[in-house]
Amino acid sequence: MLRNKSRNFIQKPYLFQLSALVAFASGLFILIICVLMIANYVQIVAMDPVDQPELLALREEFARTPDLDPVMVDRIRALDFLSRKAYFTSQTQLNTGARLLFGAAVVFLISMRLAARWNPKPPGPPLQSATKGHWGRQALIRELIILSAMVLMIAAALAALFTPLEFPPLEQHAQTSAVEAAGDTDAPETAAVTFPVWEDLQKQWPSFRGPGGYGLAHAESVPLKWDGESGKNIRWKTALDAPGFNSPVVWGDSLFFSSADETKRTVHCYDTDSGELKWMQVLPSFPGTPETPPKVSADTGYAAPTMVAHYPYVYAIFANGDLACYDFSGKLIWGKNLGVPENHYGHASSLIAWENLLYIQYDQKKNPRLLALKADTGAPAWEVQRKKISWASPIIIQRTSGPQLILASEKDVDAYSLSDGTLLWTVQCLDGEVAPSPAYTRDRVFVGQDYAAATAILLHDEESSTTAEATWEWDDSLTDIASPLGIGDYFIMATSRGEIVCLNAETGEDHWLEDFDEGFHASPIAAGELVYALDVAGDMHVFKGASDYELAARNSLGDKASATPAFLNGRIYIRTHGYLWCVEEGAEQ
Amino acid sequence: MMQMYFLLIPATLLFFVFSVQADEFRFPMPEFESGYHYPEQVLPEAALTNPWVDVLVLALVLALTAWIVLRRRSRRELLALTVFSLLYFGIWRQGCVCSVGSLQNVAVSLIDPAFPLPWVVLIFFLLPLIAALFFGRIFCAAACPLGAVQELFTVFPIQLPRPLDRVLRLFPYLYLGLAVLAVCLDSGFLICIYDPFIGLYRLGGSFNMLLAGGILLAAGIFIGRPYCRYLCPYGVLLGWMSSFSKWHLRIPEKACIQCKLCEEACPYGAIDFPITEAAPLTREQGAKRLALLLGIAPFIVLFCAWIGMTSHVYLARLHPDIRLTERVLAEERGEVEGWTIESEAFRSGKVPIPALLESAHIIQKRYKRGAAWLGAFMGVVIAGMIARLSIVRRRADYEANRTYCVSCARCFAYCPVEEESPCVTQ
């Protein structure tokens, strides 16, 4: 049979050089095209034709313009067209480049093979069989296989060792499984939940600093004088053994607060009439609940954030990121861990709720966020990325353009839409570690922070939007823990150094500044014309929110206090370090 | 000549840039107010090739390869057939159906009888194996599109040291075990997902796989067929079949003169040398050592099974639900920013997180058992390899290793005993 043996190991130098040259040229061509295409690719990846800043700015401007401006419409269209055209041109270049490359690669491969053919390597002396004897080589292979097997096993064992079991054990999760399963929006039990509206909230003390969270008590006949030692006007007093600085919240005849230490997180519910414990629930572990608690400062503790009561549920958050929802009978509805916040003092921002959403200002070092969860199931509704860490709590204010969620953090005061988290306005005026929450009165939001200037932000309502501008600053005695208070024409600030200052809301003029023996951690609360400021010794200073300082009363409880009192239905509920107090006019213990 | 070696870099980059074309960029269409209507999207009609044509072509290519390798002994004709297979099975059929991937279909159909296994796929799986049983790995020689592209890129081959080559040949077994484990535990067809050359045939694919394909081809210029030798799981089965092949190619058709030229010619380390030295052990000593090895083999297997079982948490990540669970929990904990497409789809559904978690636990449990089996399989492979290396054999001539030889016909031209060999004619 005829066999075709064309390979004859004859070298053809000229043909070899020619093919080598072609291979080199095509290789170089490939290299250049590759570099150009990679640059183009990077450009395309970075390109976002529909969200260009100029285009977005124009759109926003267009949205704010009440009348249709044809010039602006044309500008938007032209810019939109240009950016899309640029994008598609780049993509066409990329496709053309890929085809060129494919062709060049074929040329490169053929010329390489031809070069190898015309410069063949003639048969030479053997390589491997001569180097080592058969048995020696076999022994070496055997040893290498054993070694490789060991390396593989060690690698597998190490991989297993360092692969954390990401999922919490089922039994640990079982307690929450049933209730989270109810997170299905079709479940009849959750579908029937109706949450309160603003009018309902105003009749309760649902959150830190009351309805809206800006320290205004919608209450009449608030007790003016009491005495802890004699029991005058003290309806009841209950001893507490519950570590935590959060403030009590009250809904109807239930008072809630939370406590926590390194190992245990607890939600407490007390009867507002008798001061008796209704129920107390220790939180189970949720998926992601850390075994070891995060480091917190002694001043913050593990239960600094105040709960929010949002009938029929009540919510609590803790320093380790655990968030739990209970109903008013103490049954766990849902719970989850939001991830341990990276917070060097400990998480302190309190919760707030509005209609069917629960808001969490989760400002931390890494991945700061504003979360909105569905109040009935805990499912995420929306999420907004934040910029900086903070310890302040959100407030909700009512404007003619709609309610707004106001947040303060380092640098910025931001307002968000409650429904979808759209940023409504932002003012850059803060600095440092921001703990005090914003205050609000009339058309002004007020923020103050030690080591930065206090600022009043004037809001301008338009038909469907609000604009904001900083109007004045004040940088004398500033607060670092207690939140400022807006009352009528004034802003009041109580500092941890024991000063209270009253500023004119419109002009920033300081009307008065009073020094006290003790500092203030609890935020002052306005009830009618009066301001109630509880100092750390447990003394409540009651004075008029007016341009002149006029002390109305000074009431002592004889126990240290950090939490902000709750005001509801003619009573004041005060959580001191060792007791829970109910103050009511005419009551005797 | 050396300057051409440096062109390896653009060859690698080439495949990087191919990925550029692969990515799809989509964004919302402009909102026209001028009454403009977008043209309706028209999908081209499916141009299906009768799958039996593929079977026929495969059978013909295998038959032709056997004829060329065993009778014609022509490297040039084999290369022509290789180019044909590359064009047909690779470019035209875009790498599917493919015998390499078909082993997954067969594996899953064995585990789950309800899984549909088309006849065409079964034939694609069996035909090369049957051919290997008679003629050696002729499928690898010219019919496999994955092998074809690597064969063409093997331009300046160098030989890896034999011990290194043999050790690296452990990895196809591991890949085979992982691929079977993955399909049996509903974790996807790994061989298809991680096919490094499919992106080349389809001019598109994920960045990582295109890059891997580019690197393999660039490396293949010097290290012949790296995927076939050190990764291909189907090659393991073909090697097993080929070991028993009836008419495997011989390097010299007649008597070997032990010129050692074929040893240098083979870039795939598939030439077995004659064993002329006396064995270092007596027959009795050799038998004892082998008996000892066989005695400890069960312990090796059990130990490997235990290692496999301990790594089940890691291996379970092959399953998409495990990855989804990890992602969703990380999102819940705020460890990651935003949602992925998968987690967004999950959240828009009605499955609660605990149900997902429960499912993840069940999958991990299944993986615990599966990973133990994988470890045991690797234990058998390792013990078998060691035992095989410890058996005293006799070999008088240079021979093609029936397990590893891919019948590429490169050695024919070097054999001076070969009729009309240039080594003779010169």
Per-residue pLDDT, B48: 67
Interface of B with A in 378-407 (CB under 8 A): 378, 382, 385-386, 389-390
Q: How many CB atoms lie within 10 A of CB B219?
A: 17
Nearest CB to A166 within list B174, B203, B326 = B326
Map tokens 């003779």 to a residue: B424
Whether A292 and chain B come into contact, CB under 8 Å, resolves to no
In angstroms, the CA A165 to CA A313 distance is: 33
**Which of B75, B83, B151, B167 is the best substitution to test chain A (most A C-beta atoms within 10 A)?**
B167
Q: What is the pLDDT confidence band of residue B420, given thresholds at 50, 70 and 90?
A: low
**B307/A153 Cβ within 8 A:** yes
Nearest to A335 by CA among B356, B341, B360, B352: B352
Per-residue pLDDT, B15: 46
B31 domain-assigned: no
Q: How far is CA A584 from CA A220, A233, A572, B217, B410, in A?
A: 12, 5, 7, 85, 102
Tell me the per-residue pLDDT of B180-226, one tens digit each, with 9 for 90 and over. 999 999 999 999 989 999 888 887 767 677 778 888 988 998 999 99
Query: Is B158 buried (19+), middle (13-18) or exposed (0-12) by CB count in 10 A?
Result: exposed
Judging by DSSP bridges, how do beta strands A254-260 and A313-317 pair with one another?
Answer: unpaired
Per-residue pLDDT, A181: 40
Per-residue pLDDT, B31: 65
Strand partners, B275: B395
Per-residue pLDDT, B272: 87
In angstroms, the CA A210 to CA B138 distance is: 82
Q: In what order do the strands lie in the sheet with A490-494?
A: A485-487, A490-494, A499-504, A510-515
In angstroms, the CA A370 to CA A81 distance is: 35
CB B156 within 8 A of CB B221: yes
Which two tokens mark A14?
A: 């000229």
CB A257 within 8 A of CB A565: no
pLDDT surpasses 50 at B153: yes
Mean pLDDT (chain B, rounded): 84
CB B143 within 8 A of CB B62: yes
Q: Which residues of B touch A362 (CB under 8 A)?
A: 334
Per-residue pLDDT, A417: 92
Q: Which residues of B touch A123 (CB under 8 A)?
A: 261, 264-265, 414, 423
In angstroms, the CA A265 to CA A319 distance is: 10
Q: How many CB atoms lie within 10 A of CB B396?
A: 11
Which two tokens mark A167?
A: 């999922």
Which two tokens mark B148?
A: 């074809």
Residues B307 and B158 in one domain: no
Q: How many CB atoms lie within 10 A of CB B310?
A: 20
Region class of A46: left (phi > 0), else alpha (psi between -120 and 50), else beta:
alpha
In angstroms, the CA B123 to CA B126 distance is: 5
Per-residue pLDDT, A127: 57
In angstroms, the CA B359 to CA B320 distance is: 11
Which two tokens mark B304?
A: 């490997």
Q: Which residues of A touch B162 (CB under 8 A)?
A: 128, 137, 141
How many CB pairs (< 8 A) connect A and B?
Answer: 266
Q: What phi and psi values does residue A313 have, to the nearest 5 degrees?
A: -120, 165
Judging by DSSP bridges, how do beta strands A216-217 and A525-527 pair with one another?
Answer: parallel
Per-residue pLDDT, B12: 47
Q: Which residues of A touch B71 (CB under 8 A)?
A: 1
What single DSSP character describes residue B71?
I
Residues B83 and B212 in one domain: yes
Per-residue pLDDT, B6: 45
Which two tokens mark B78?
A: 């084999």
In angstroms, the CA B136 to CA A402 distance is: 79
Q: Which residues of A touch B421 (CB under 8 A)?
A: 5
In angstroms, the CA B9 to CA B5 distance is: 9
Mean pLDDT of the region B119-147: 95
Per-residue pLDDT, A158: 86
Residues B165 and B73 in one domain: yes
Nearest CB to B389 within list A23, A129, A141 = A141
Whether B143 and chain A come into contact, CB under 8 Å, resolves to no
Q: How many structural domains compose chain B?
A: 2
Per-residue pLDDT, A527: 93
B38 domain-assigned: no
CB B321 within 8 A of CB B359: yes
Q: How far is CA B345 from CA A468, B328, B341, in A?
A: 38, 11, 6
Whether B72 and chain A come into contact, CB under 8 Å, resolves to yes
In angstroms, the CA B411 to CA B400 distance is: 9
Q: Is the ipTM of this complex over 0.85?
A: no
CB A367 within 8 A of CB A351: no
In angstroms, the CA A34 to CA B278 distance is: 57
In angstroms, the CA B196 to CA B192 distance is: 9
Residues B248 and B329 in one domain: no
**Which of A6, A111, A137, A141 is the best substitution to test chain B (most B C-beta atoms within 10 A)?**
A141
Nearest CB to B421 within list A5, A101, A109 = A5
Q: What is the pLDDT confidence band of residue B233, given thresholds at 50, 70 and 90?
A: very high
**A145/B166 Cβ within 8 A:** yes
B45 domain-assigned: no
Domain boundaries defined on chain A: 13-118, 182-213+248-349+351-392
B352 domain-assigned: yes
**Which of B156, B254, B353, B391 is the best substitution to test chain A (most A C-beta atoms within 10 A)?**
B353
Nearest CA in chain A to B269: A128
Interface of A with B in 320-379 (CB under 8 A): 321, 336-341, 362, 367, 369, 379
Q: How far is CA A511 from CA A493, A495, B240, in A?
A: 12, 16, 95
Per-residue pLDDT, A132: 61
pLDDT surpasses 60 at B3: no
Nearest CA in chain A to B214: A105
**Which of B14, B276, B293 is the best substitution to test chain A (most A C-beta atoms within 10 A)?**
B14
Nearest to A248 by CA among A562, A491, A586, A589: A562
Per-residue pLDDT, A182: 37
Nearest CA in chain B to A381: B347
Q: Which residues of A touch B422 (CB under 8 A)?
A: 5, 7-9
Q: Which residues of A touch B337 (CB under 8 A)?
A: 367, 385
In angstroms, the CA A203 to CA A283 distance is: 29
Per-residue pLDDT, A173: 46
Q: What is the pLDDT confidence band of residue B168, given thresholds at 50, 70 and 90?
A: very high
**A185/B260 Cβ within 8 A:** no
Residues of chain A with pLDDT under 70: 1-8, 123-132, 165-192, 589
Nearest to A449 by CA among A439, A440, A441: A439
Residues B116 and B208 in one domain: yes
Residues B351 and B417 in one domain: no
Nearest CA in chain B to A93: B21
CATH architecture type of domain A182-213+248-349+351-392:
Beta Barrel (2.40)
Which two tokens mark A286?
A: 């949720």
In angstroms, the CA A264 to CA A246 distance is: 16
Range of the domain at B330: 283-390
The Cα angle at residue A358 between residues A357 and A362, in degrees rounded to 5: 135
Nearest CA in chain B to A85: B30
In angstroms, the CA A140 to CA B89 distance is: 40
Per-residue pLDDT, B331: 84
Cβ neighbors of B19 (< 8 A, separation 6 or more) are B199, B205, B206, B207, B210, B211
Map tokens 């290194």 to a residue: B164
Residue A365: HSE in the Cβ half-sphere, 13 Å Cα cutoff:
7
Tell me the per-residue pLDDT of B359-418, one tens digit each, with 9 for 90 and over. 888 898 899 999 999 999 999 999 999 888 887 777 888 889 999 999 999 888 888 776
Answer positive or negative: Cα dihedral of B333, B336, B340, B344: positive
What single DSSP character describes residue A51?
G
Per-residue pLDDT, A446: 94
Whether B16 and chain A come into contact, CB under 8 Å, resolves to yes
Nearest to B240 by CA among B385, B57, B67, B109: B385
Cβ neighbors of B262 (< 8 A, separation 6 or more) are B251, B271, B398, B411, B414, B415
**B264/A5 Cβ within 8 A:** no
Which two tokens mark B106?
A: 């067969």
B296 domain-assigned: yes
